[in-house]
Structure 1
Amino acid sequence: MSDLESISSAYRTLLGVIEQVEPRIAQATRQELTDQRASLKLIASENYASLPVLATMGTWLSDKYAEGTVGHRFYAGCQNVDTVEAVAAEHARELFGAEYAYVQPHSGIDANLTAYWAILAHKVETPALAEFGAKGVAELSEADWETLRHRFGEQRLLGMSLDAGGHLTHGFRPNVSGKMFHQRSYGTDPNTELLDYDALAAQAREFRPLVIVAGYSAYPRRVNFAKMREIADEVGAVLMVDMAHFAGLVAGKVFTGDEDPVPFADVVTTTTHKSLRGPRGGMILATGEYAPSVDRGCPLVLGGPLSHVMAAKAVALAEARTAEFRTYAQNVADNAKALAEGLLRRDARLVTGGTDNHIVLLDVRNFGLTGRQAESALLESGIVTNRNSVPNDPNGAWYTTGIRLGTPALTSRGFTTSDMDEVAGMIVDVLRSTKPTTTSTGAPSKAKYTLPEQAREASLTAADTLLAAHPLYPGLDLS
């Protein structure tokens, strides 16, 4: 029996076991693979983990509580979890050239929240405790804690605005990050839609934040982190970088020099499941100065780490240290450029006029559509995207004016630059065929639309042809 036949047999057996307990879950799991195989996934924050990564998550490591850190747990019997966490952290440090790695966060938001509190603990709590003399934390009076709370509440954060491409955890008011800090946002140049480092520096001088957050979730360009470091140093701020979206391009050495955040940031956060192609989870990299504070993630913010997911992170990080992954990362960037060029040749408008990372942000106003209409029309045509704000978006964060496209997932399936040009043509054909409708009052609808069946079927047929040429998990047969 070949390896793929063995793997297929193992998954069929696994799903059969699940089916005996709850058949609806087994069926939904089978259907998810079918659905993912049958669509062009262009969601920039999604990817396909390898079969070894997926298999690592489904083990009895899930059954162990392990609050604390390696060698310093609050539960007995954690020697194997210690091994798992140490191996994952070792791979992370070596892969990114970091002094310290913390692999416990359950998600990117958890990683950011842990990082924020670690920075506050290091920059605010620790100096304040020194003022209180030899008291331990447990010995602080209520007046002492009131002083600490007051100082925590006075701190400032400067992050990229949501419509410029930032993330909701970068100080967006409804998010906890926007409630923890006095917050301001920096945007992009209104003419070029690119980061304006001089304007950012002037804003930092005026606002004097404790933390400057760099990184993005929908900005289609690279960032000069050396310049971000200079700005932070000038105002005495901590530089935190959220590289959740582009960690795979850093790991794969597509981003090097001033575009690699690790040598310049005090703290770097990331997810492990986007361009890094690992399990769903988060991670923090930091300088040695911040390591003790980050290590307090539990009990500061986190509870027990997900040991089975930390194990999967270790496997994914080991994969990312290979030459094959570096080739993959370069292909992700090349495919994004090909997708952007294909859209531009067909007279689509892109935010910033193109891309030099893995993201393409398509402004759909030229098609007379909202982001929500475009997203829905593409979805029923076999192309999975997500609507996204553009700078100064007139439709707000719900309906939006943009569509965010990303190439990590299709690159994992083996799509090439010529394939991406064909995908660009499919996207434009669908959007040109889609027409907005009106509401019951006769006003233009921001959600409803019409799409001719012929255009939809043409796209589905073209998608089927491309997908058949690049099968997902080839050889994995659950039938």
Structure 2
Amino acid sequence: MDYDTVRETDPAVADALSGEVERQQETLAMIASENHVSEAVMEAQGSALTNKYAEGYPDQRYYAGCEYADEVEELAIERAKELYGAEHVNVQPHSGSSANIAVYVAALEPGDSILSLDLTHGGHLSHGHHANFVGEHFDVTHYEVDPETGYIDYAALRETAEEIEPDMIVSGYSAYPREVEWERIQAAAEAADAYHLADIAHITGLVAAGEHPSPVGIADFVTGSTHKTIRAGRGGIIMCGEEFASAVDKAIIPGTQGGPLMHNVAGKAVGFKEALQPEFDSYAAQVVSNAEALAERFREHGYELVSGGTDTHLVLIDLRESHPDTSGGDAEEALAAANIVLNANTVPGETRTPFDPSGIRVGTPALTTRGFEEAEMREVADLIHRVVDNVDEEDVVYEVGERVAELCEQFPLYE
């Protein structure tokens, strides 16, 4: 990846692109929402389809010359249907958040009510935070996890739903490390005569591989990102039954988007084909095993884990008990200096600011893509512990960085 053609035209951008490749090669990417796609996916995303306007849908475009765009989009749709068993799939959303907004547009009216998980308890901005478009245009109430267990309090969720009678309940989360019981949330939605939107942005790959139960066929709408655990082209996806198909498609175009990013749709198609291979199931299983190994090692080091562990691809660590004087931001900064890249994160019962919260979120998808297994993950947990225990000790951070460099060389990326 030398970007010679870009360099001839724009050396500054070429330098930045080369620098980003080098950064990824030389760091341990542990942000739970990040992954490393294949070179085939990147090639598709950099294809000539970036030149093509294809507003509308296959065989129903506003412009001529869409025969190959149609072919690519149809491939992405059919492969997604095979992966998830969905009746209807829309692959045009630019992101998971765009997919969520389209569902709200399809099913709700401005001012309607939404019940979703609080952001500090593991929810997402697009589920109705007050600073987001959704929070500004809908009446949002939040449910929470149980403060003692860290698990979703399904009984309290249903009680709240029956009390406020929301128009939609949102499930699926950005920082919740446990399996989601979709049927219980669906039962709460039915009791309140509400729609149910399941956002599987983080776990699209785990659901596709059967490592996490699927909400498809249970929830009215299922949305997700296509570039996290699924490792396909960057963007979003919407899945639903045929009764909602027309409303969803209209909510995307003309409702909330114009021309789709067809080069990204091509990346989705390629990534979905990769996810249909047996090797992907092994990958997804390893993602979960690696997260479990991380969690076990962190517990051995005395860390408090939200919910006590993980069933998924991420571990959420609450630093308040083990390191009361160290914020998530302190840990993130020191770890970044050692080339371990993760993010500070709010935790249930957060007592610090969301801009410098009390926890850190640690994910395994990208390292699993590089070939890390349980033994390496335990060592990575040891390295993280050394840094968090010594955030102000530059020599410790340097020593950890040296070991990170060795691991990156041992497990190369994009050879």
TM-score range, shorter chain: over 0.9
Tell me whether 1:332 sits opposite 2:287 in the alignment.
Answer: yes
Tell me whether 1:363 sits opposite 2:318 in the alignment.
Answer: yes
Partner of 1:279: 233
Q: Following the alignment from structure 2 to structure 1, what is the Cα–Cα distance between the partners of residues 137 and 276?
A: 36
Partner of 1:239: 196
User: Post-superposition shift, 1:51?
Assistant: 0.5
Q: Following the alignment from structure 1 to structure 2, what is the Cα–Cα distance between the partners of residues 260 and 59?
A: 32
* Contact 1:348–1:428 (8 Å) recurs in 2: no
User: Post-superposition shift, 1:180?
Assistant: 2.0
User: Post-superposition shift, 1:88?
Assistant: 0.4
Q: Following the alignment from structure 1 to structure 2, what is the Cα–Cα distance between the partners of residues 380 and 358?
A: 24
Partner of 1:414: 371
In the alignment, which of 218, 229, 238 is matched to residue 264 of structure 1? 218
Tell me whether 1:462 sits opposite 2:394 in the alignment.
Answer: no
* Contact 1:364–1:374 (8 Å) recurs in 2: no
Please identify the structure whose Cα radius of gyration is greater. Answer: 1
User: Post-superposition shift, 1:153?
Assistant: 3.2
Partner of 2:23: 35
Q: Following the alignment from structure 1 to structure 2, what is the Cα–Cα distance between the partners of residues 462 and 308?
A: 38
Partner of 2:181: 224
* Contact 2:32–2:313 (8 Å) recurs in 1: yes
In the alignment, which of 275, 295, 298 is matched to residue 320 of structure 1? 275
Q: Following the alignment from structure 2 to structure 1, what is the Cα–Cα distance between the partners of residues 140 and 388?
A: 37
* Contact 2:29–2:340 (8 Å) recurs in 1: yes
* Contact 2:217–2:241 (8 Å) recurs in 1: no
Q: Which amino acid is the alignment partner of residue 154 of structure 2?
A: Y
After TM superposition, the structure 1 = structure 2 runs for residues 20-419 of structure 1, keeping only pairs within 5 Å, are: 20-120=8-108, 152-255=109-212, 259-296=213-250, 297-365=252-320, 366-367=322-323, 368-419=325-376
The alignment-based identity, stated in percent, is: 42
Q: Which amino acid is the alignment partner of residue 50 of structure 2?
A: S
Map Cα deviations across residues 32-71 of structure 1 (whole Å, 9 max, x no partner): 1111111111000000000100001111111111111111
Q: Following the alignment from structure 2 to structure 1, what is the Cα–Cα distance between the partners of residues 301 and 411?
A: 25
Partner of 1:128: none
Q: Following the alignment from structure 1 to structure 2, what is the Cα–Cα distance between the partners of residues 190 and 457?
A: 37
Q: Following the alignment from structure 1 to structure 2, what is the Cα–Cα distance between the partners of residues 364 and 41?
A: 20
Q: Secondary structure at the match of 1:304?
A: coil
Map Cα deviations across residues 330-389 of structure 1 (whole Å, 9 max, x no partner): 000000000010110011111111111011001122222111111101110121001110
Q: Following the alignment from structure 2 to structure 1, what is the Cα–Cα distance between the partners of residues 125 and 353?
A: 14
* Contact 1:272–1:313 (8 Å) recurs in 2: yes
* Contact 1:336–1:360 (8 Å) recurs in 2: yes
Q: Secondary structure at the match of 1:426?
A: helix
Map Cα deviations across residues 275-299 of structure 1 (whole Å, 9 max, x no partner): 0111211111111111001111111
Map Cα deviations across residues 436-460 of structure 1 (whole Å, 9 max, x no partner): xxxxxxxxxxxxxxx2222012211
Partner of 2:5: 17
- Please report the RMSD computed on the Cα atoms of aligned residues, expressed in angstroms: 0.9
Q: Which amino acid is the alignment partner of residue 238 of structure 2?
A: I
Partner of 1:149: none
Q: Following the alignment from structure 2 to structure 1, what is the Cα–Cα distance between the partners of residues 61 and 363?
A: 40
Map Cα deviations across residues 396-447 of structure 1 (whole Å, 9 max, x no partner): 211110101100000000001010000111111111112xxxxxxxxxxxxx
Q: Which amino acid is the alignment partner of residue 48 of structure 1?
A: H
Q: Following the alignment from structure 2 to structure 1, what is the Cα–Cα distance between the partners of residues 110 and 14?
A: 48
Q: Following the alignment from structure 2 to structure 1, what is the Cα–Cα distance between the partners of residues 200 and 353?
A: 25
Q: Following the alignment from structure 2 to structure 1, what is the Cα–Cα distance between the partners of residues 23 and 46?
A: 21
Q: Secondary structure at the match of 2:397?
A: helix
User: Post-superposition shift, 1:79?
Assistant: 1.5
Q: Following the alignment from structure 2 to structure 1, what is the Cα–Cα distance between the partners of residues 49 and 398?
A: 46
User: Post-superposition shift, 1:181?
Assistant: 1.1
Q: Following the alignment from structure 2 to structure 1, what is the Cα–Cα distance between the partners of residues 255 and 20?
A: 36
Q: Following the alignment from structure 2 to structure 1, what is the Cα–Cα distance between the partners of residues 43 and 110?
A: 44
Q: Secondary structure at the match of 2:44?
A: helix
Q: Which amino acid is the alignment partner of residue 359 of structure 1?
A: L
Q: Which amino acid is the alignment partner of residue 362 of structure 2?
A: L
Q: Which amino acid is the alignment partner of residue 143 of structure 2?
A: Y
Map Cα deviations across residues 249-283 of structure 1 (whole Å, 9 max, x no partner): 0011111xxx2111211111111111011121111
* Contact 1:95–1:321 (8 Å) recurs in 2: yes
* Contact 2:317–2:359 (8 Å) recurs in 1: yes
Map Cα deviations across residues 189-223 of structure 1 (whole Å, 9 max, x no partner): 11111111110000000110111000000011110
TM-score by length of 2: 0.98
Q: Which amino acid is the alignment partner of residue 373 of structure 1?
A: D
Q: Following the alignment from structure 1 to structure 2, what is the Cα–Cα distance between the partners of residues 463 and 424?
A: 12
Gaps of 5+ in 1: 1-10, 121-151, 435-450, 475-479
Tell me whether 1:473 sits opposite 2:391 in the alignment.
Answer: no
Q: Which amino acid is the alignment partner of residue 150 of structure 2?
A: E
Q: Which amino acid is the alignment partner of residue 24 of structure 1?
A: A
Q: Following the alignment from structure 1 to structure 2, what is the Cα–Cα distance between the partners of residues 222 and 299?
A: 35
Q: Which amino acid is the alignment partner of residue 192 of structure 1?
A: T
